[in-house]
Amino acid sequence: MMKALVLDATYYPVQLIDWRKAMILFFTDRAEVVDYHDDIEIRSTSESFKLPKVLRLFTKINTLTHVKFNRLNVFHRDKFQCQYCYKKFRESELTLDHVMPKSRGGLTNWTNIVASCHTCNNKKGPRTPEECNYKLLNKPIEPKWTPMMAFKLSNLEKIIFKDWFFR
C-alpha cells in the first residue's frame, strides 16, 4: 500500500498514512501537498492526479493529537477487539476493563483501560491479566490520531474512491 508522509503546520513529521487518506486530506482542504510521487497517478474517468508523497497540515497539531479519553475512542483505538480473547465485537458487546484493577489503585486512563468483551471481563474480575493468564493484544497507549477521525476518513474513502483506480 502506498503511503504519504504527513507534516504538521511547522513541517514536523507526524505520521505515515494511506494514500487514500492523503487524497482526502487534500480534497477537504485540510492539507497542502509538499511533494508528489512523480511516477504514480490516480485517475477517475475525467481527471487524473499525481499521488501525494508529503503533505503539510493546515491544522495545528495539538488539535489533532489530543485525543479525548472516552468509551468510544477506546473501542476505536482497540479496533473493537477484546484485548484478552482478540475477537471482534460490536460496541454494545464491549466493556471497558481496568488492566490493573481499580480496587488495587488502577487508574481510569488511556494506559490502564482496554476494550474487553463481557465474558473476559467477568472471568478476569479484580485480577491483573498475568494472574489469570491473559496476554493483552496491545499495550494500551494514548493514541496520537483521533480514532473518530480515522473512522470518518475510512467512511469517506468508500464514497470518494469507489470509481478510482491506479494507472
Closer to Zn ion by CB, 42 or 94: give it: 94
Which one of 2, 5, 40, 85 is in contact with Zn ion (CB under 5 A)? 85
Closer to Zn ion by CB, 31 or 117: give it: 117
| Cβ pair 50, 34 in contact under 8 A | no
Size of the site for Zn ion (CB under 5 A): 5
Give the Cβ contact number of residue 75 at 10 Å: 20
From the list 140, 137, 110, 146, the residue with the least C-alpha distance to 17 is 146
- Residue 120 interacts with Zn ion (CB under 5 A): yes or no: yes
CB of 112 to Zn ion, least distance (A): 17
From the list 54, 52, 59, the residue with the least C-alpha distance to 8 is 59
Cell (9 digits) for 55: 503533505
Closer to Zn ion by CB, 106 or 129: give it: 129
In the range 27-66, which residues lie near Zn ion by CB under 5 A? none
3-state secondary structure of 86: coil
Closer to Zn ion by CB, 14 or 85: give it: 85
From the list 101, 96, 63, the residue with the least C-alpha distance to 77 is 96
- Residue 82 interacts with Zn ion (CB under 5 A): yes or no: yes
Which one of 42, 74, 117, 153 is in contact with Zn ion (CB under 5 A)? 117
Footprint on this chain of Zn ion (rule: CB under 5 A):
82, 84-85, 117, 120
